[in-house]
Structures are given as C-alpha cells and as structure tokens.
Chains A and B, each alone.
Chain A
Amino acid sequence: MTQNATLERPQTGQGASLELTHALTQTVYREARMLDDENYADWVDMLADDLLYHMPGIETRYRRDKTDQITDLTRMAYYNDNLTEIKKRLSRLETGTAWSEDPATRYTHIITNVEVELTEKSGEYRVYSNFYAYRNRNEREEDSLIGNRVDIWREAESAFQLVTRRIILKHNVLLSKNLNIFL
C-alpha cells in the first residue's frame, strides 16, 4: 500500500550523520514546543499529507501470547488517524464550545533519547524518542504520560515532515479521564 519507509527496525539501522541527527533532534524539540503552546496550526504544517498517527491500546498479556497488539491497525487504538482525521479532532478547539478546554490545560512535553537512523528510502529517516508529557489543569488535576515513539520523518523542501508515528504509552489503564493531548 505505502512506499514509505517502515517503522520496524531493519537488519541494520545505520546511524545518520551528526548534522542530520542534530537537525531532526531540533525538529522533534520544535514539534514538542508547538504542542506545549497549543500552536496546532504550525504543528499541522509539520505533518505529511500521507500521515499515519497511531497509538495502539495495549492489553497486559503473558509473554507467551503472540497477539500483535502493536502493528495490527484493526484493533482498538487511542489514535489511528490520517491527516484529515487529526484535523477533525483539532477543529473541535475552533468551535468555541469545547467546554473542557477552557480554562486551558497546561502542557509540557519532554522529549529525550533521540536516535536518528537512515532507512531503506532516501530522504526518509527513522527517529526513536521517549516522551514525558505532563498535564496540569484547573486547581490540582495533574497526570503524567510516559512512553516511547518511533517516527518516520521525510525531508521536504524546507523542513522535515512527520509521515508515520507510533506511540507506545506505558499505561494499561489510562490513568486519566481523557487524552486531550498529542504525544
């Protein structure tokens, strides 16, 4: 279906150059800043037209259980969105009646452990990272979402664009009443 680079690690994940690694690291930091600032217009500009933004729901299973809970896109997922669907979600904030977003939630995304690899496709790069997303809301509501991401970023004319992201949240039960956040 897709000609894009895949998220799964190939036999050898060849590390990218220092320059490329720096550029993509700065890109994911910049993206995190867009999300912290609720600057969704600029965030959406960083997303490719053929985006797949996927955060599977993962049950606790025994090690011997080989059910594919990660790459099977037909299973339950917090996010399994293309660009149009991401924009639909975001359009809720434009309505003026998204009551639970006013007063605003306060966000901080901390992005660490960034690794950049070349892929089988030139101009597309695999980027691993960890995230710590902290939310605080109203008087004393707070929660922390921690996990890993693996992305494919594509070199476009003047910037990099996110093509594919898989988010693995470490919660079994989401310890929060909602997920009004992108990770």
Chain B
Amino acid sequence: MRIEGIGREPEFSRYMDLKEGWLDRRIFSDAEIYEEELYRIFARSWLFVAHESQLPKAGDFLTTHMGEDAVIVARQPDGSIKVFLNSCPHRGNKVCFADAGNTRRFVCNYHGWAFDTAGELKGMHEEYCYDDNDIDRRKNGLKQVARVAGYKGLVFATFAEDGPSLDAWLGDFRWYLDMLLDNEEGGTELIGGCIKSVMNANWKFGVENFIGDAYHAGWTHDSGCRSMNNGQPFPPIDMENSYHASVNGHGWEFGTEGVGDLFLLGRPKVLEYYERIRPKMAQRLGEMRSKIFGSVASASIFPNVSFLPGISTFRQWQPKGPMEFELKTWVIVNKSMPDDIKNEITKGVMQTFGPGGTFEMDDGENWSNCTTVNRGVVTRHERLHYRCGISREIEHDTLPGIVYRGQYNDANQRGFYQRWLDMMEADKLEAMPDRPESRLSGVGETRNLPGLFAL
C-alpha cells in the first residue's frame, strides 16, 4: 500500500540527540509532527490489533484502531484472522459500531451495503439501481490491511506492503516476549472485557514510561506500593543485577530477583502460584528468564503496546491527537491457570493498574501535565533530559539486545526514540537498521535454546 503524505524533507533528527541524551519537547505536542507520526510510524509499523483469545470462534470480531484508522478484526471460517478498515467504500460510513461480538455480516446503516466477515461486498439495498458497468463487487470490499501475522497469541497488522516480517520486526525481542507469552504450557489469554480511558497526554509518554522508567516507580508509586502491601515500601533496586534491554525500539527493563512485580500486585496467592511453577519455567525458558520473570519490570513493544510481566496488565496507547491518547487496558493470564488465580490476578490488576488503581492514578496526572505544559511557546522549545546511565552499556553473554546495567536508566527510552527517529526519517522501511544486529536471526523458536543463551 502506498502511504500518501510522506515526502516532506525529513529533518526530525534536529529534535533529539540521543548520544548526548536530550529530546526536544515539541515531539510531545506539535500537531505537524503528530500528523507525520500517523503516516510514518502508525501507517507503517506492525501494530497490535487483538489477542487470539478474544476471537475464539468463526464470526467473532472486535473493532480497534491502527493509529487513528478504525479497523475491524475478524475470525474467518478457516480459522485465520482478517483486518480491514471499518469504513464503507460507498460513502465512508462506519459499518460496525460494537466493540466486539459475533456476526455473519457487517451492514452499512446508510445504504445497506453488506459485507461478510472477510470484508467482501455481498449485497446492497435495492441493487437493481446499479447497471452492469457501475460496480465491480470484487473491487468494493472493505479495504484490507496489507499484512496480518501473529506471535504466540498476539495478532499484529500493518498497512505496509513492504518492510520486515513480524518475526524480523520483533527480532531478538521474542526472547523477552516469551517470558510473558510462553512461560507455561498453553500460552496466554486476555480476561473478558476491555477498559478504555482517555488522557490529555501524548501517546509516547505512556510507551516510554513502561519501556524503561523504573526510576519513577519508587517515587510516583510510593503510595500505591504501600497501600497494596500493608505499608511496606518499594522493593530495593539492585543496580548491579538489573538491566535495560532494547531491541528495534522495543524494550524491557528488569531485575533478576524474580518477585518484585509479583509483590507489588499485592496478591500473595499469585506469588505462591508463580513460586510453584518457577522450576518448570526454568526448564522451559532457562534459568535466567525464570529469574527475570516476576521481578520489578516493565516493557513496551514498539510503537504502542506495554505490559507488566508479573503484574499482568496489558495495554495499548492509542493516539488521538498530539495531546490526547486513549488507553485500552486488559488483563493477560496463562490459559492453564486455575480460575481462582485468574480472578486474583484480575482483581489485583484492576486495583493497581485500572483507572481507579492505586498506581495508575498517579501516572495519568504526571503524563497529562508533562504534555499540556507545552502549550507555552517558550516552554515547548526547552530540551528534556534523557541522559541517565548513558555510559553503562555492557556486553552480556545471555541477554540479547542493546543492554545497559542498572534498571534506573534512560537507555530503553533512548532506544525507543532512536527507532522513532529511524522510522520518521526512513523513506523505505528496508533501509532501517536492526538495533542491535540480531543474534537470533533465523531462530524460529526462542523458548528452548540449550547452550546458546542459557546460563
């Protein structure tokens, strides 16, 4: 698909110097930069659109957005998933108004054009008014995205015909993702329902917070941590044995103590559950990953999905203008968990990271004020400081990615903005470099890598 609108002279590098460690605030508030983000990033990235578990049966559908483009995600009779614009080719009206459901047809309210769950035009109201030459039904279906692909339950779609495969896009980050998506036989599912809320904040603040900002947690969330855990403060951070890892703009910051995030959830039964399965997890993923899972950690998939492995909130930051995003939150659990553990996790997530959660409430306030203060024309030209830990890059035998020591660090944030810059400036996605060079290229399954990356 040709994405019109690209073609302005790229000059986005003037908004940051990641070697020096600063960003220009205009990327968080400028309307023109935001429009370019929609073209260059959201219309060309692999974007999360659904979890397989949300669409178990043929005809199951959900509606979501890719950037600001409204799309329908639908399960086909053959089990595959199609993604197409939620917009009728006749006058552009929406053809589906529900968040989710099951259907045989999407029918436009305006003139009764009817599409099947593959998006193909199947009929129109008073069809006799069209002469033979007027319309080719086959060419007037709902506009399909260019590609759909999945990784261990997560379904992604992209409007870009060319560019990396999803596996290449995720690259070595798959090694980390398996800790969330494949730590137990059977994989994951999302709990029923989705909670959406709006914030007057730039979408990148949510992403960068989860991609690397362990630093804010002990301060911003002191009250949340104490409320969930009988007044106990945040678990101490071990700067020697905690890390930032960045791959192609995705990032995971983490400790290796295995329990920090599980503690923050405030549900002892969940902590006990993971302690029970940890030896199996070590067999499945290796010793190192079994110690990372459950530690104080947070992660984002470029460009706009985030989650907390161990706390089990899973979320997407949907852009709605330079100074607004819509936050969609779900709870992700292992399919094989007993129901009472799924319930404990669901309650725990909503009490910490739902809109009324003891952690979430303090985050929204921060991101909103970080954004709206840029209405000031002087303020918006001031640089922001992103230099924390800039000299702590290390080579690590086990950990893939660009690795920095000490999880109080801006390294993953710099990695995210580097990828942002790569995409904003690249006219062809093929021209974008892997960051870093892939270690796992050609490795299909990253779960069991005996000897290779096992400690």
Whether A177 pairs with B358 at a CB distance below 8 angstroms is no
Whether A60 pairs with B356 at a CB distance below 8 angstroms is no
Q: Does A91 contact B (CB under 8 A)?
A: yes
Whether B355 pairs with A176 at a CB distance below 8 angstroms is yes
Q: Which partner residue on chain A sits nearest B354 by CB separation?
A: A78
Which A residues touch B241, using CB under 8 A? none
Whether A95 pairs with B99 at a CB distance below 8 angstroms is no
Q: Which partner residue on chain A sits nearest B195 by CB separation?
A: A57
Q: How large is the interface on B (under 10, 10 to 19, 20 to 34, 35 or more residues)?
A: 35 or more
Interface string of B271-291 (1 = CB under 8 A from A): 000000000000000000000
Q: CB within 8 A of A177: which of B98, B343, B368?
A: B368
Q: Which partner residue on chain B sits nearest A183 by CB separation?
A: B356
For residue B225, give the distance in angstroms from its CB to the closest CB of chain A. 9
Q: Does B412 contact A (CB under 8 A)?
A: no
Which B residues touch A93, using CB under 8 A? 223
Q: In the complex, A55→B333 CA distance in Å?
A: 21
For residue B167, give the distance in angstroms from its CB to the closest CB of chain A. 30
Which A residues touch B365, using CB under 8 A? 99-100, 177-178
CB neighbors of B among A59-101 (8 A):
59-62, 65, 67, 69, 72-81, 85, 88-93, 95-101
Q: Does A179 contact B (CB under 8 A)?
A: yes
Whether B364 pairs with A177 at a CB distance below 8 angstroms is yes
For residue B255, give the distance in angstroms from its CB to the closest CB of chain A. 22
Q: Does A175 contact B (CB under 8 A)?
A: yes
Q: Does B384 contact A (CB under 8 A)?
A: no
For residue A162, give the distance in angstroms from its CB to the closest CB of chain B. 18
Q: Does A173 contact B (CB under 8 A)?
A: yes
Whether A98 pairs with B223 at a CB distance below 8 angstroms is yes
Which A residues touch B100, using CB under 8 A? 59, 61
Q: Which partner residue on chain A sits nearest B343 by CB separation?
A: A74
Whether B197 pairs with A174 at a CB distance below 8 angstroms is yes
Q: Which partner residue on chain A sits nearest B227 by CB separation?
A: A92
Whether B351 pairs with A81 at a CB distance below 8 angstroms is yes
For residue B349, give the distance in angstroms from its CB to the closest CB of chain A. 9
Which A residues touch B103, using CB under 8 A? 62
Evaluate whether A76 and B198 lie within 8 angstroms (CB atoms) in the complex, with A62-B98, A81-B351, A100-B362 already known. no
Whether B356 pairs with A76 at a CB distance below 8 angstroms is no
Q: In the complex, A121→B226 CA distance in Å?
A: 39
Q: CB within 8 A of B355: which of A60, A61, A179?
A: A179
Q: Does B309 contact A (CB under 8 A)?
A: no
For residue B51, give the distance in angstroms from its CB to the closest CB of chain A. 13
Q: Does A172 contact B (CB under 8 A)?
A: yes
Q: Does A112 contact B (CB under 8 A)?
A: no
Q: Does B222 contact A (CB under 8 A)?
A: yes
Of B78-86, B131-139, B186-194, the one contacting chain A is: B186-194
Q: Does A180 contact B (CB under 8 A)?
A: yes
Q: Does B335 contact A (CB under 8 A)?
A: no
Which B residues touch A178, using CB under 8 A? 197, 355-356, 360-361, 364-365
Q: Which partner residue on chain B sits nearest A143 by CB separation?
A: B198
Q: How large is the interface on A (under 10, 10 to 19, 20 to 34, 35 or more residues)?
A: 35 or more
Q: In the complex, A78→B194 CA distance in Å?
A: 10
Which A residues touch B354, using CB under 8 A? 76-78, 179
Which B residues touch A179, using CB under 8 A? 354-356, 361
Evaluate whether A80 and B224 lie within 8 angstroms (CB atoms) in the complex, with A100-B361, A176-B198, A178-B364 already known. no
Interface string of A148-183 (1 = CB under 8 A from B): 000000000000000000000000111111111100
For residue B268, give the distance in angstroms from its CB to the closest CB of chain A. 13
Q: Does B350 contact A (CB under 8 A)?
A: yes
Which A residues touch B374, using CB under 8 A? none
For residue A15, give the distance in angstroms from its CB to the closest CB of chain B. 34
For residue B398, give the distance in angstroms from its CB to the closest CB of chain A. 36
For residue A131, give the distance in angstroms from its CB to the closest CB of chain B. 15
Whether A76 pairs with B197 at a CB distance below 8 angstroms is no
Which B residues touch A58, using CB under 8 A? 193
Which A residues touch B101, using CB under 8 A? 61-62, 65, 67
Q: In the complex, A93→B100 CA distance in Å?
A: 37
Q: In the complex, A67→B194 CA distance in Å?
A: 14
Whether B98 pairs with A85 at a CB distance below 8 angstroms is no
Q: Does B418 contact A (CB under 8 A)?
A: no
Whether A76 pairs with B193 at a CB distance below 8 angstroms is yes
Whether B226 pairs with A95 at a CB distance below 8 angstroms is yes
Which A residues touch B346, using CB under 8 A? 74, 76, 80
For residue B313, give the distance in angstroms from its CB to the closest CB of chain A. 11
Whether A77 pairs with B350 at a CB distance below 8 angstroms is yes
Whether A92 pairs with B195 at a CB distance below 8 angstroms is no
Q: Does B196 contact A (CB under 8 A)?
A: yes
For residue A35, give the distance in angstroms from its CB to the closest CB of chain B. 14
Interface string of B327-368 (1 = CB under 8 A from A): 001110000000100110011001100111010111011101
For residue A62, give the distance in angstroms from its CB to the closest CB of chain B. 5
Q: In the complex, A57→B193 CA distance in Å?
A: 7
Whether A173 pairs with B266 at a CB distance below 8 angstroms is no
Which A residues lie at the B interface, using CB under 8 A? 56-62, 65, 67, 69, 72-81, 85, 88-93, 95-101, 172-181
